[in-house]
Amino acid sequence: MEERIGFIGLGVMGHSMAHNLLKKFNGINIYSRTKQKAESLISEGATWYDSAAKVAENSDIVFTIVGYPKDVKEVYDAFLSVDIKGKLFVDMTTTEPSLEVEINKNLKEKGASFIDAPVSGGDKGAREGTLSIMAGGSKEDIERAYKYFEVMGKNIKHLGPVGAGQNTKMANQILISGTMIGLCESLVYAKKAGLDLNEVIATISKGAAGCWSLDNYGPRIVKGDFNPGFMIKHFVKDMKIALEESKKMGLDLKGLSLVEKLYEEMEKEGDGNLGTQALYNAIDRL
């Protein structure tokens, strides 16, 4: 018998991920704080429940991708209020590694299993089902979830016990922070030098500077498209987590601290809902 699938969190990433699961499998159970975000999925056959706990009650495997650590905690605390024995929960939010370890402990006490599996690849990767999935959990639980991961992503890695996925995502976000400031400063420089930005991107993307961010965000910057593939406010959240985890390890990551301050200033100025590529505008104004 097929497992009943639950999905909670239908934002920029979650909606597309849920859509891909719905296309592949026979129905999914969904919940989001804003029901309007679920309407198109409901019209395609998804079943709406009016709480996270009810999704858990009516599903065998539940995927979550919400906003902030407090949202993750709220959702998983709700799961503890119902019978979840034998169920598998997969958190794909980027959140605190220590929180995922705590959630795993709490779920185990209720007879449930847990994987932390944050993702990378932005809105494009979510739509196309090509996300990188960084999973932490037991071998058996990863194997149980794998056929679902294959629908949402193409680069699926089991990195260790619960918490390993989030620590890998922190390493990813630290790298992206430096990449984004380099990308935006590069294009601002090229603009001030009077160069054709499309030609610059086509040229340097084939050399040592080539990277995913240049290929995907560079053309958006040239078009003036600052809609979110990944929101600034969520990137600030991720960088703060990375900085806190770094402090626990005795690390002083000066580059990450600088980029976090730049993005935090943008968020304070009301740009938190723009895509991370909007850093270009902030640098261009300097």
- Identify the H or E element spanning 146: helix 139-152
What's the CA gap between 55 and 144, in Å, rounded? 19
Single-letter code of the amino acid located at 241: I
Single-letter code of the amino acid located at 17: M
Would you give the distance in Å from CA 256 to the centre of its chain? 18
Q: Which of 10, 114, 102 is nearest to 56 (CA)?
A: 114
Q: What count of residues does the chain have? A: 286
Q: Identify whether the C-beta of residue 46 lies closer than 8 Å to the C-beta of residue 37.
A: no
Map residue 95 onto helix, strand or coil: coil
Q: Catalytic residue numbers?
A: 169
Q: Identify whether the C-beta of residue 151 lies closer than 8 Å to the C-beta of residue 132.
A: no
Q: Identify whether the C-beta of residue 121 lies closer than 8 Å to the C-beta of residue 131.
A: yes
By CB neighbour count within 10 A (0-12 exposed, 13-18 middle, 19+ buried), where does 208 fall? exposed
What's the CA gap between 52 and 89, in Å, rounded? 12
